[in-house]
Chain A
Amino acid sequence: MEPNSPFTPEHELFRKTVRDFAEKDLLPHKEKWEQERGFPKEVFKKAGDLGILGVCFPEEVGGSAGDWWFKVVFCEEIIRCKMAGLAMDLMVQADISTPIISYLGTEEQKREFLIPALKGDKIAALGITEPGCGSDVANITTRAETQGDDYVISGAKTYITNGGRADFITLAVRTGGPGYQGISLVTFPTDTKGFAVGKKLEKLGNHSSDTALLFFENCRIPRRYVIGEENMGFVYIMKNFQGERLVAAVTSIAGSELTLGETVRYCQERKAFGKRIIDYQVWQHKFAELATQIEAGKRLNYHAVSLFQAGIECSKEVSMAKLFACDLAQRVAYDCLQAHGGAGYMEEYDLARFARDIRLMTIGGGSSEIMKEIIVKKMKWTR
């Protein structure tokens, strides 16, 4: 083991658990679940039983109180199921919709929503994006009117992962005036009257994932379902994003590493003009470049994770890590597909799937452009 490795024997045991889960329990179903555009709910339950959903959560809510390196291990191994969609659904459950409830939720919210989600008994979604607004979170229009002790919610959300079958949504709504100061987060049970799931959205990739358009028409929920303080939602969303972005960065690098390894192996077998593809210097150099960048990306990720783990403000480093890793993964997908030739374009090999799945990474969870915006702000160049 390298000096100062953040990974202890416990992390390595967990690595084996996640790898076995991904390779033995999930991977064999890849073709079916990708084609069917979804996977059975039991996967959430199994993940919950293995402690995969509660990695960093406190023990009181059913978590394992692990440090963030356990989360890194999870991201690095779950991609081996080769269904980025399924992996994303699990991450939405464990890293994107629920941490904020753990930080700020009431006992009731933890009991009703968080604890069953970490067990895999209830499915969670995060509802921020709307048909009219994505990156510009401060301008969402889904409205929550206060009526006595209730909110009455009307509006629409789109591109919502797990949306089609979520039991509850960590939902961003407008409770106040315009702009970022008027937004609140609420826990929204999907059995509320007036809630409807629109069509399941067909996507370029992440086929095993459930992505939906959602409608809210005079949906009445108790006001006590607000998360934290009213009108503080924007701040919470931005805080919540840090974990989501780190997960995206680590996953992108891990996927890149796996794909590069498989591509090199392919090029060691495949011959053209009497030589193996790997014997062409042009490919050797290409792979050397990619391997170098992957290593650099991994180190930046680990740096951001160690700051995050230590509780140090690191939105600049997190944004840099996501920007670098998710952009790099696009290049890895492109070059590795190219190295496969026609085989790379065929469903039979894993590259076609990787290339279409990975495309999401520079868009979701804050696009590359938004990452640059954050970095610029943090640099204070334009002040």
Chain B
Amino acid sequence: MKIAVLVKQVPDTETKIKTKADGSGIEADGVKYIVGPYDENAIEEAIKTKEKNAGSEVTVISLGPVRSVEAIRTALAMGCDKAIHIDDENSNPDAYVTAKALAKVIADKGFEIVFTGKQAIDQDNSQVTQQVAEFLGWPQVMLVEKLEIAGGKATATRRVSGGKEVYEVPLPAIFGCEKGLNTPRYASLPGIMKAKTKPVETLKLSAEKGDAQPKVVLSNFRLPPEKAPGRMIAGDAAAQVKELVRALREEAKVI
């Protein structure tokens, strides 16, 4: 099976984000980048799928600036076989342009199943997976927590409020992976050493996106206002409730 996994390099959740003085973006200095946490689940699922289907191969695809190759190396060290880096030429494309380019590359290379994280944790759009599916005319299932593949079909389970939904979809298809789907493996040292020699093909976004134009332009970045620290209310339960209601009514003025 020809398997692809789409990963995005995102700022570490522990990084303190600073915006540029002119609001045009995020200050890149001092930001540590990681593989998107949900993308790690996607990588794991891709590798597991390969392990269950002899003769399969996993290609990791990342669209982004040159530094994205670090994320690619991580995926290769975890066990992906080869990689495609679509250099965005520092254009920071929106979800639409990103999905157009990814869909073209996926179609060109003839992948049969594609995994992604359920969202990238930088902008939290959760759009690319669904749009790629749309442009390819493939079924997609988002927030996948369980997946079984057999006989050219996939059975994907996702959680919805109050229960579970089970989808049966024909392949090719694309799956947006949720945390609970699996436990991503750590890159073993032999895996890290082997990754050095695995092939990485570089494509240019300008060549892959066709005539797609962004639908969304990010014009200004601001940090959310600082949250005021919480306040502990002392006393027994009755006194606490009384004080809480008073504070909500008189101070917060929400009830």
Contacts and interface: CB of A to CB of B under 8 A. Distances in A.
Interface of A: 9-10, 13-14, 16-17, 20-21, 49-52, 54-55, 64-66, 70
A215 B186 CA distance: 40
Which of B74, B77, B193, B195 has the most chain A CB atoms inside 10 A of its CB?
Answer: B193
B230 interface: no
A13 B186 CA distance: 9
Contacts of A54: 189
A51 B188 contact: yes
A64 B70 contact: no
A143 to B, nearest CB: 40
A17 B188 contact: yes
Contacts of A70: 189
Interface string B178-190: 0000000011111
A64 B188 CA distance: 10
Nearest to B69: A9
B20 interface: no
20 contacts: A9-B70, A10-B193, A10-B195, A13-B73, A13-B77, A13-B195, A14-B187, A16-B186, A17-B186, A17-B189, A20-B186, A21-B186, A51-B188, A51-B190, A51-B191, A51-B192, A54-B189, A64-B189, A64-B190, A70-B189
Given A9-B73, A13-B77, A64 B186 contact: no
Nearest to B77: A13
Contacts of A9: 70, 73
B196 interface: yes
Interface residues of B, number: 14
Interface in B30-47: none
Contacts of B196: 10
A178 B187 CA distance: 49
B192 A10 contact: yes
A54 B193 CA distance: 12
A68 B176 CA distance: 40
A70 B190 CA distance: 12
A369 to B, nearest CB: 36
A14 B189 contact: yes
A64 B70 CA distance: 21
A194 to B, nearest CB: 38
Given A10-B195, A17-B188, 13 more contacts: A10-B193, A13-B74, A13-B77, A13-B192, A13-B195, A14-B189, A16-B187, A17-B189, A17-B192, A51-B190, A54-B189, A64-B193, A66-B193
Contact of B193 (A21, A49, A65): A65
Contacts of B189: 14, 17, 50-52, 54-55, 64, 66, 70
Contacts of A49: 188
A50 B186 contact: yes
B92 to A, nearest CB: 23
Interface in B70-126: 70, 73-74, 77
Contacts of A20: 186
Contacts of A10: 192-193, 195-196
Which of A17, A21, A55, A64 has the most chain B CB atoms inside 10 A of its CB?
Answer: A17
A380 to B, nearest CB: 40
A49 B187 CA distance: 10
Contacts of A65: 193
In order of increasing CB-CB distance, the 5 nearest A-B pairs are A51-B189, A64-B189, A17-B186, A51-B188, A50-B188
A358 B204 CA distance: 53
Contacts of A66: 189, 193
Nearest to B186: A17
Interface in B177-232: 186-193, 195-196
A308 B77 CA distance: 27
Contacts of A14: 187, 189, 192
Contacts of A13: 73-74, 77, 187, 192, 195
Contacts of A17: 186-189, 192
B48 to A, nearest CB: 16
Nearest to A53: B189
A52 B191 CA distance: 12
A54 B196 CA distance: 18
Contacts of A51: 188-192
Contacts of B77: 13
A83 B75 CA distance: 30
A21 B189 CA distance: 12
A180 B134 CA distance: 77
